[in-house]
Amino acid sequence: MKRFFTLTFTLAIMFLVTACGNVAQKPVVNTETPEQTTTESSAQTTTEPAAQDTKETSKDTPTKKNLIVYFSRTGDNYEVGNIEKGNTKIVADIIAENVDADVFEIKPETAYPAEYKECTKVAKSEKENNSRPKFVGQIENFANYETIYLGTPVWWGDLPMVVYTFLESYDFNGKKIIPFCTSANDHFVLKESIEKAAKGATVLEGLGIRGKRCQENPDSVKTDVTDWLKKVNG
């Protein structure tokens, strides 16, 4: 009998210990709840970076549909002497004042010589060798742009080779290119060269401006550019 009580007592103690053990496990469950919270919070954490990612992406993603891309050279140039702001850049800046657009400058990795004659030699050799000089940087989310205003000087009756590099670096399918060129006269636009290089793009007629006018009579250039923009944008 005594043994029976001892056994019952022992079993009761064991039960209590087990029960307490279960209670003691509850915090584990509770800990699991925080863990779930942690999981939730890690889900949030997962969500948060995702949200941040979206934010970052949306920051990087251009909301603008227009992009102005130009190449322009400073230094000694045809008819204008030593200039601090390139002729094509002057036109690009006027367009940027009038169109809601992002801007990308095509900067060659190796700068062209500042001296005019030297530059023409380098440009000639690049053209003869059909070179594709590299440019610095890249355009994020190029696909999002619909219209590209493309500015370039005329070099040896053609696009500078670095502009070819640029045009061959992106998918222009379905894009609209609106060219603007500066050169020794007021009408030179390299529509056909651009069409060949930017495959799939629709290239509009564009605007040709004499480089000298950009330096010496910027107001007349401003008038021409704004009138032309009204025409091309309806």
- Rounded to a whole number, what is the distance in angstroms from the first to the last CA of the chain? 108
Least separation in angstroms between residue 74's CB and ligand FMN is 7
Helices 87-98 and 218-232: crossing angle, nearest 10°? Answer: 50
From residue 12, alpha-carbon distances to 19, 20, 40 in Å are 10, 12, 40
Q: Count CB-CB contacts under 10 A for residue 3.
A: 7
Sign of torsion over alpha carbons 204, 141, 193, 208? positive
Q: Minimum distance between the CB of residue 89 and ligand FMN, rounded to whole angstroms?
A: 6
Nearer to ligand FMN, 79 or 168 (CB): 79
Q: Nearer to ligand FMN by C-beta: 41 or 131?
A: 131
What six digits make up the tokens of 39?
């999981």
What's the min distance (Å) between Cβ of 93 and ligand FMN?
Answer: 11
Distance CA 137, CA 153 (A): 20
* Tokens 């003869």 -> residue: 128
Contacts to ligand FMN by CB under 6 A: 72-73, 77-78, 86-89, 116, 119-120, 123, 153-157, 182-185, 188, 211
Residue 87 or 147: the one with the smaller Cβ distance to ligand FMN is: 87
- Distance in Å, CB of 208 to ligand FMN, minimum: 9
Of 2 and 117, CB closest to ligand FMN: 117
> Which residues does 174 contact at the CB level (< 8 Å), separation at least 6?
200, 201
Cβ at position 228, least distance to ligand FMN in Å: 17
**Considering the complex, what minimum distance in angstroms separates the CB of residue 234 from ligand FMN?**
28
Question: Nearest-CB residue to ligand FMN?
Answer: 211
Q: Residue 108 contacts by C-beta under 8 Å, 6 or more apart in sequence?
A: 71, 133, 134, 135, 136, 162
Closer Cβ to ligand FMN, 32 or 186, answer by number: 186
Comparison of 62 and 123: residue with beta carbon closer to ligand FMN: 123
